[in-house]
């Protein structure tokens, strides 16, 4: 039984510490700043905001 | 200052970003393609086993002569195949592609990932054979025998290595919400699977502790493995397709962290009424209700992003599947939260209602979102379009109508079953008899869903085999594309 | 045109103005917070309910308490309400009552056939504990039993929760009498008075270990 408790405790600790680490990393690396730019980060020059993209890459090469 | 807006008119920037995207998509061709392609095979096999299991419930003599095809083996085989053969495999492929896109970095290690895909499929094949042969571990959601685990372990290690590599090569700046969801899923899944497999199969803990660990695993497989990949895909595809950023990025952050915080406590709600300490069950009930927080948050976000753009589901297959899936996510989670309330659980526990609910999440949400994602990804990998608009229509409508029928009939039968089971006087066999018509209707509905899967598989194979060059037009439902909206 | 900081660099005012004008054409808040109705109408009430429910419905946070204590679970009442309170101390009546208690409380683990579950729950049928001194079975039912024990030469290592809070002396005597006369067991029935005496003597005792039990019975 002690093995089980130890394993579960270790998994829990790793999980919690990992989560805390991820959150604090995000906080200190400006992940929670300028959220509007974050939302727009998936767009780029070729697939900009305002252009629906259910078409594909070589599309613009053909007329 | 928004550099993207200036670049809109800069042909050099446009060309550069197009080349980058092309490179990413082509680098993903083999690894992602194999994961997705194999997942479709498992989808078909899983559907066949599902129909067999469904028939057996109202017709127990069906296929009962062969020990390999008895219900006790077919049902777990179906469960494991759709979970680890279809959903997980597609999830890995979709997750890798989205990571690659968002990290702006092409997948580098083609060989290991192709090997990983082969190993993953072998693990599923060996596991399925093991279950049908009689070696099931008898632990729900973990029925693959131990000898299948090494294949899955090594395969996933390669996937993790590549994912970490992609993350490290990302450009400086924001990590988009989909990257968070997918990376988290890739860390959560192995921890869950291998901890649970260790504590329940390899070195089983004392009996009273097994069910909590079992259901910690099984429920988290849904919420910390399938859900984040599905949500990550929805958060990327919905804005990308309609060409508009997500409504409130702040809400997405809240949604992610509250999911991570609350979800893991939910599992014990499968054990309500059982011989377990009250505080453990209560904690799970509280966590299940608190799930309203991330779910409402995500629902608001997706809805307000889509508002004004729902017409685009008329022409875009991906958007249609993904929006259907996202709505089912909200419904399934709301339903799940209410099912965790002890008094309601007293009616629904041990009934078909629970099965219907499970399918609302795993099929209505995860499967439909993955279907939509595959419709978006494959043309970009292969530089070809889906060959037939008709097949896509069949796929969508068979699955949507089939699934809605499945859900309604099975839930209805399940509630009746639950109410009767709480009456002391009603004999058990009478309750079984009363569920029969609903089980038969479920078989019919499930067959309709399978028809959709067949259409999908045919579509997929046709696209791979055909050397037809692209028509230059995407395969959309309708030729009439609404004008792109001005930025709003 | 204004010169820039580096030699040879100058601004193109039209480009700068263009960018500014484009910026103005789209209203943007840098930080779109969660709507107030979401925070006050959903997040806060849920959090408050959650904390309250966690505290009141956790059975006192005891490891051996399955009933949440505040609300009843939706299970039709079994022995308490439906069985009329019997007056007779006749062993047969006691045993009959004991069977109802056994099915409701004990059968989940020890099984309806009293065989237990290999690797998990020890058998009661033909058990040396059941057929031995009555204290050895009364005390575990009252206060619980944990850790390694030896039953019929086999070792078991489990956790049996206490039932003393939910079963009164009469019910404890009834269920033990039933166990002692079922599945081949033939030990004398247990009287409610024996249970009362032991409950008084070991009031509020923690769950027993095999060692504690030996020590207590030796006195």
Q: Give the closest of C34, C75, C157 to B206, CB-based.
A: C157
pLDDT of B161-195, one tens digit each?
Answer: 999 999 999 998 889 999 999 999 999 999 999 99
Computed over every residue of chain B, the mean pLDDT equals 91
Give the pLDDT band (50/70/90) at residue B301: very high
Asked if B249 and C32 come within 8 Å (Cβ–Cβ), the reply is yes
pLDDT computed for residue B360 by the predictor = 97
pLDDT computed for residue A57 by the predictor = 34
With a cut of 90, say whether residue B239 has pLDDT above it: yes
Asked if B275 and C74 come within 8 Å (Cβ–Cβ), the reply is no
Give the pLDDT band (50/70/90) at residue C91: confident
User: Does the residue B4 lie in any domain?
Assistant: no
- When mean pLDDT is compared across B241-245, B266-270, C9-13, C51-55, the lowest value belongs to C9-13
Asked if B241 and A54 come within 8 Å (Cβ–Cβ), the reply is yes
In angstroms, the separation between the Cα of residue B156 and the nearest Cα of chain A is 19
Interface test with C, best of A32, A36, A43 (most C CBs within 10 A): A36
The CATH code of the domain that includes C121 is: 1.10.760.10
Q: Which two tokens stand for residue B305?
A: 């992003």
Give the pLDDT band (50/70/90) at residue C63: confident
pLDDT computed for residue C14 by the predictor = 53
User: Does the residue C24 lie in any domain?
Assistant: no
Please report residues of C whose CB lies closer than 8 A to that of B342.
68, 71, 73-74
Q: Give the closest of B195, B240, B380 to A56, CB-based.
A: B380
Q: What sign does the CA torsion over B451, B454, B460, B461 have?
A: negative
Strands C154-160 and C145-151 come out as antiparallel
CB-CB contact of B130 with B269 (8 Å):
no
Please report residues of A whose CB lies closer than 8 A to that of B301.
none
Collapsing DSSP to helix, strand or coil, A32 comes out as coil
Residue whose C-alpha is closest to residue C57's, from B345, B274, B279: B279
Mean pLDDT of B32-37: 96
User: Does the residue B9 lie in any domain?
Assistant: no
Asked if A40 and B2 come within 8 Å (Cβ–Cβ), the reply is yes
Give the pLDDT band (50/70/90) at residue B231: very high
CB-CB contact of B180 with A38 (8 Å):
no
Asked if B250 and A52 come within 8 Å (Cβ–Cβ), the reply is no
Left if phi > 0, otherwise alpha if psi is -120 to 50, otherwise beta: which for B332?
A: alpha
pLDDT computed for residue C204 by the predictor = 84
What is the distance between the alpha carbons of residues C122 and C30, in angstroms, rounded to a whole number? 65
- Residues contacting B164, CB < 8 A, separation 6+: none
Left if phi > 0, otherwise alpha if psi is -120 to 50, otherwise beta: which for B482?
A: beta
Same domain for C65 and C167, yes or no, is no
pLDDT computed for residue C84 by the predictor = 58
Residue C160 backbone phi and psi in degrees, to 5: -105, 125
User: Does the residue B367 lie in any domain?
Assistant: yes
pLDDT computed for residue C39 by the predictor = 86
Rg (CA), chain B: 22
Residue C197 backbone phi and psi in degrees, to 5: -55, -50
Same domain for C130 and C160, yes or no, is yes
What is the distance between the alpha carbons of residues B114 and C151, in angstroms, rounded to a whole number? 55
Final residue belonging to a domain, choices C33, C52, C75: C75
Q: Does A1 touch chain C (CB under 8 A)?
A: yes
DSSP state of C89: -
pLDDT computed for residue A59 by the predictor = 33
Same domain for C149 and C202, yes or no, is yes
Provide the domain limits for residue C49.
42-75
Asked if A7 and B486 come within 8 Å (Cβ–Cβ), the reply is no
Mean pLDDT of C171-183: 92
pLDDT computed for residue B146 by the predictor = 94
With a cut of 60, say whether residue B379 has pLDDT above it: yes
In angstroms, the separation between the Cα of residue C31 and the nearest Cα of chain A is 6
Please report residues of C whose CB lies closer than 8 A to that of B345.
74
Q: Which two tokens stand for residue C86?
A: 């019997």
With a cut of 70, say whether residue C103 has pLDDT above it: yes
Same domain for C172 and C97, yes or no, is yes
Please report residues of A whose CB lies closer than 8 A to that of B476.
54
CB-CB contact of B187 with A18 (8 Å):
yes
Interface test with B, best of A2, A22, A36, A39 (most B CBs within 10 A): A39
Same domain for C46 and C118, yes or no, is no
Q: Which two tokens stand for residue C38?
A: 């979401």
Mean pLDDT of C179-207: 90
With a cut of 70, say whether residue B443 has pLDDT above it: yes
pLDDT computed for residue C1 by the predictor = 44
Q: Which two tokens stand for residue B89?
A: 């495999």
Q: Which two tokens stand for residue B281?
A: 């069950």
Asked if B279 and C33 come within 8 Å (Cβ–Cβ), the reply is no
Hey, which of B374-388, B391-405, B415-429, B474-488 has the most confident mean pLDDT? B391-405
Same domain for C66 and C101, yes or no, is no
| In chain A, residues 12-41 whose CB comes closer than 8 Å to chain B | 14-15, 18-19, 22-23, 26, 31-32, 34-41
Asked if B312 and A52 come within 8 Å (Cβ–Cβ), the reply is yes
What is the distance between the alpha carbons of residues B337 and B357, in angstroms, rounded to a whole number? 11
Hey, which of B218-222, B462-466, C33-37 has the most confident mean pLDDT? B218-222
Q: Which two tokens stand for residue B201?
A: 């199969």
Q: Which two tokens stand for residue B275?
A: 């011989």
- When mean pLDDT is compared across A4-18, B25-39, B256-270, the lowest value belongs to A4-18
- When mean pLDDT is compared across A32-41, B132-141, B339-348, C180-189, the lowest value belongs to A32-41
Mean pLDDT of C158-170: 88
Please report residues of A whose CB lies closer than 8 A to that of C30.
34-36
Same domain for C140 and C185, yes or no, is yes
pLDDT computed for residue B238 by the predictor = 94
Give the pLDDT band (50/70/90) at residue C82: low
Q: Say how many domains are in chain C.
A: 2
Residue B124 backbone phi and psi in degrees, to 5: -65, -40
What is the distance between the alpha carbons of residues C145 and C199, in angstroms, rounded to a whole number? 15
Residue C127 backbone phi and psi in degrees, to 5: -80, 140
Mean pLDDT of A40-62: 67
Give the pLDDT band (50/70/90) at residue C9: very low
pLDDT of B305-322, one tens digit each?
Answer: 998 888 888 888 999 999
Q: Say how many domains are in chain B.
A: 1
Q: Which two tokens stand for residue B280?
A: 């453990």
Alpha-carbon dihedral B361, B363, B365, B367, rounded to 10 degrees:
140
What is the distance between the alpha carbons of residues C31 and A34, in angstroms, rounded to a whole number? 7
Q: How far is CA B260 from the centre of its chain?
A: 17
In angstroms, the separation between the Cα of residue C142 and the nearest Cα of chain A is 24
pTM of the model: 0.76
CB-CB contact of C213 with C136 (8 Å):
yes
What is the distance between the alpha carbons of residues B467 and C124, in angstroms, rounded to a whole number? 72
With a cut of 80, say whether residue C19 has pLDDT above it: no
User: Does the residue C17 lie in any domain?
Assistant: no
Give the pLDDT band (50/70/90) at residue B445: very high
pLDDT computed for residue B471 by the predictor = 55
Mean pLDDT of B262-276: 91
Give the residue on A whose Cα is nearest the Cα of C31: A35
Same domain for C46 and C124, yes or no, is no
User: Does the residue B177 lie in any domain?
Assistant: yes
User: Does the residue C65 lie in any domain?
Assistant: yes
Which residue's structure tokens are 């505040």?
C70
With a cut of 90, say whether residue B5 has pLDDT above it: no
Q: Does C219 touch chain A (CB under 8 A)?
A: no
User: Does the residue C12 lie in any domain?
Assistant: no
Q: Does A16 touch chain C (CB under 8 A)?
A: no
Size of interface B-C (CB pairs under 8 A): 110
Left if phi > 0, otherwise alpha if psi is -120 to 50, otherwise beta: which for C203?
A: beta
Mean pLDDT of B421-430: 88
pLDDT computed for residue B485 by the predictor = 43
What is the distance between the alpha carbons of residues B239 and B323, in angstroms, rounded to a whole number? 11
Which residue's structure tokens are 């569920």?
B435
Mean pLDDT of C47-68: 85
- Residues contacting C100, CB < 8 A, separation 6+: C78, C79, C83
Q: What are the distances in angstroms from CA A51 to CA A39, A44, A46, A47, B234? A: 15, 11, 9, 7, 18
- Residues contacting C128, CB < 8 A, separation 6+: C151, C152
Same domain for C90 and C194, yes or no, is yes
Q: Which two tokens stand for residue B187?
A: 């860390």
User: Does the residue B270 lie in any domain?
Assistant: yes
Left if phi > 0, otherwise alpha if psi is -120 to 50, otherwise beta: which for C184?
A: left
pLDDT of B97-110, one tens digit each?
Answer: 999 999 999 999 88
Q: Does A42 touch chain C (CB under 8 A)?
A: no
pLDDT computed for residue C89 by the predictor = 67
CB-CB contact of B292 with B334 (8 Å):
yes
CB atoms inside a 10 Å sphere around CB C136: 18
What is the distance between the alpha carbons of residues B351 and C5, in angstroms, rounded to a whole number? 75
Same domain for C205 and C118, yes or no, is yes
Give the pLDDT band (50/70/90) at residue B13: confident
pLDDT computed for residue C62 by the predictor = 80
Asked if C30 and A34 come within 8 Å (Cβ–Cβ), the reply is yes
Residue B476 backbone phi and psi in degrees, to 5: -110, 170
With a cut of 80, say whether residue B468 has pLDDT above it: no
Helix (H) or strand (E) holding B347: helix B342-348
Q: What sign does the CA torsion over B9, B13, B16, B20 have?
A: negative
What is the distance between the alpha carbons of residues B43 and C90, in angstroms, rounded to a whole number? 64
Size of interface A-B (CB pairs under 8 A): 149
CB-CB contact of C122 with C156 (8 Å):
yes
Asked if B277 and C59 come within 8 Å (Cβ–Cβ), the reply is yes
Length of chain B, please?
488
Mean pLDDT of B42-65: 94
Asked if B213 and A8 come within 8 Å (Cβ–Cβ), the reply is yes
Mean pLDDT of B404-425: 94
Provide the domain limits for residue B42.
19-465
Q: Which two tokens stand for residue B346?
A: 């007293």
In angstroms, the separation between the Cα of residue B269 and the nearest Cα of chain C is 13
pLDDT computed for residue C118 by the predictor = 84
Q: Does A53 touch chain C (CB under 8 A)?
A: no
Q: Does C28 touch chain A (CB under 8 A)?
A: yes
Residue whose C-alpha is closest to residue C126's, from C135, C114, C117, C138: C114
* Beta-bridge partner residues of C33: none
Q: Give the closest of A11, A39, A50 to B484, CB-based.
A: A50
Please report residues of C whose CB lies closer than 8 A to that of A1.
157
The CATH code of the domain that includes B145 is: 1.20.210.10
pLDDT computed for residue C32 by the predictor = 66
Q: Does C148 touch chain A (CB under 8 A)?
A: no
Asked if A35 and C32 come within 8 Å (Cβ–Cβ), the reply is yes
User: Does the residue B487 lie in any domain?
Assistant: no
3-state per-residue secondary structure call for C121-160: ECCCCCCCCCCCCCHHHHHHHHHCEEEEEEECCEEEEEEE
Mean pLDDT of A4-24: 88
Same domain for C164 and C211, yes or no, is yes
Asked if A35 and C29 come within 8 Å (Cβ–Cβ), the reply is no
Mean pLDDT of C108-129: 88
With a cut of 50, say whether residue C106 has pLDDT above it: yes
CB-CB contact of B282 with C66 (8 Å):
no
| In chain C, residues 109-168 whose CB comes closer than 8 Å to chain B | 109, 117, 119-121, 157-159, 161
pLDDT computed for residue C27 by the predictor = 45
In angstroms, the separation between the Cα of residue C78 and the nearest Cα of chain B is 10
Asked if B206 and A3 come within 8 Å (Cβ–Cβ), the reply is no
In angstroms, the separation between the Cα of residue C34 and the nearest Cα of chain A is 12
Residue whose C-alpha is closest to residue B282's, from C58, C113, A28, C179: C58
Computed over every residue of chain C, the mean pLDDT equals 79
Rg (CA), chain A: 22
């Amino acid at each position: 039984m002690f093995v089980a408790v130890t394993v579960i405790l270790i998994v829990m600790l790793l999980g919690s510490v990992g989560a805390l680490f991820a959150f604090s990393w995000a906080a200190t690396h400006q992940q929670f700043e300028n959220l509007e730019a974050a939302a727009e980060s998936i767009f780029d020059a070729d697939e900009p905001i305002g252009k629906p993209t259910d078409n594909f890459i070589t599309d613009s090469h053909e007329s | 200052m928004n550099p993207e807006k200036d670049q809109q008119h800069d042909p050099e920037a446009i060309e550069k970003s197009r080349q980058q995207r092309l490179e990413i998509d082509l680098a993903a061709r083999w690894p992602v393609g194999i994961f997705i392609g194999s997942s479709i095979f498992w989808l078909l096999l899983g559907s066949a086993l599902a129909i067999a299991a469904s028939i057996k419930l109202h017709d127990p003599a069906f296929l009962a002569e062969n020990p390999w095809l008895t219900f006790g083996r077919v049902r777990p085989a179906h469960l494991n195949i759709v979970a680890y053969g279809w959903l997980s495999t597609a999830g890995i492929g979709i997750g890798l592609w989205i990571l690659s896109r968002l990290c702006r970095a092409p997948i580098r290690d083609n060989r290991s990932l192709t090997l990983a895909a082969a190993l993953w499929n072998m693990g599923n094949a060996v596991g399925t054979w093991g279950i049908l042969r009689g070696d099931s571990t008898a632990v729900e959601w973990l029925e693959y025998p131990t000898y299948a685990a090494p294949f899955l372990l090594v395969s996933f290690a390669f996937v993790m290595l590549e994912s970490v590599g992609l993350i490290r090569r990302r450009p400086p700046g924001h990590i988009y919400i989909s990257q968070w969801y997918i990376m988290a899923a890739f860390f959560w899944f192995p921890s869950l699977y291998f901890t649970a497999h260790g504590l329940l199969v390899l070195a089983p803990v004392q009996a009273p502790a097994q069910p909590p660990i079992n259901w910690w695993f099984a429920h988290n497989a849904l919420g910390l493995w399938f859900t984040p990949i599905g949500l990550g895909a929805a958060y990327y595809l919905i804005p990308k397709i309609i060409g508009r950023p997500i409504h409130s990025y702040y809400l997405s952050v809240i949604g992610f962290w509250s999911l991570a915080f609350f979800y893991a406590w939910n599992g014990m709600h499968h054990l309500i009424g059982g011989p377990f300490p009250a505080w453990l069950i209560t904690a799970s009930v509280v966590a299940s209700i608190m799930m309203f927080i991330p779910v409402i948050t995500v629902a608001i976000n997706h809805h307000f992003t889509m508002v004004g753009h729902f017409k685009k589901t008329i022409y875009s297959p991906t958007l249609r599947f993904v929006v259907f899936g996202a709505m089912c996510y909200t419904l399934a989670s709301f339903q799940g939260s209410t099912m965790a309330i002890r008094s309601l659980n007293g009616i629904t526990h041990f009934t078909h209602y629970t099965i219907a609910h499970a399918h609302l999440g795993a099929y209505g949400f995860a499967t439909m979102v993955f279907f939509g994602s595959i419709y978006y990804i494959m043309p970009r990998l292969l530089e070809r379009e889906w060959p037939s608009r008709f097949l896509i229509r069949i796929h969508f409508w068979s699955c949507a109508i089939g699934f809605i029928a499945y859900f309604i009939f099975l839930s209805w039968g399940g509630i009746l079953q639950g109410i009767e089971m709480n009456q002391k006087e009603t004999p058990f066999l009478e309750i079984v008899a009363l569920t029969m018509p609903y089980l038969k209707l479920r078989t019919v509905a499930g067959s309709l869903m399978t028809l959709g899967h067949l259409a999908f598989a045919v579509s997929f194979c046709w696209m791979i085999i055909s050397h037809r060059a692209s028509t230059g037009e995407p395969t959309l439902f309708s030729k009439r594309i609404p004008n792109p909206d001005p930025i709003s | 045109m204004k010169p820039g900081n580096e030699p040879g660099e100058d601004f193109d005012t039209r480009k700068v103005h263009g960018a500014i004008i484009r910026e103005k054409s789209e209203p943007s808040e840098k930080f779109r917070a969660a709507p107030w109705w979401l925070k006050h109408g959903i997040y806060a009430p849920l959090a408050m309910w959650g904390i309250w429910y966690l505290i009141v419905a956790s059975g006192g946070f005891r490891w051996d308490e399955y009933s949440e204590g505040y609300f009843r679970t939706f299970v039709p009442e079994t022995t308490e309400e439906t069985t009329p309170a019997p007056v007779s101390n006749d062993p047969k009546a006691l045993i009959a009552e004991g069977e109802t208690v056994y099915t409701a409380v004990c059968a989940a683990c020890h099984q309806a056939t009293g065989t237990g579950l290999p690797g998990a729950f020890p058998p009661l049928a033909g058990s040396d504990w059941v057929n031995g001194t009555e204290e050895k079975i009364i005390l575990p039912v009252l206060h619980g039993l944990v850790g390694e024990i030896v039953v019929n030469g086999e070792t078991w290592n489990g956790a049996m929760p206490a039932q003393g809070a939910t079963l009164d002396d009469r019910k404890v005597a009834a269920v033990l009498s039933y166990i002692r006369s079922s599945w081949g067991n033939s030990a004398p029935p247990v009287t409610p008075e024996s249970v009362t005496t032991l409950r008084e003597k070991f009031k509020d005792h923690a769950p027993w270990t095999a060692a504690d039990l030996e020590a207590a019975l030796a006195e």
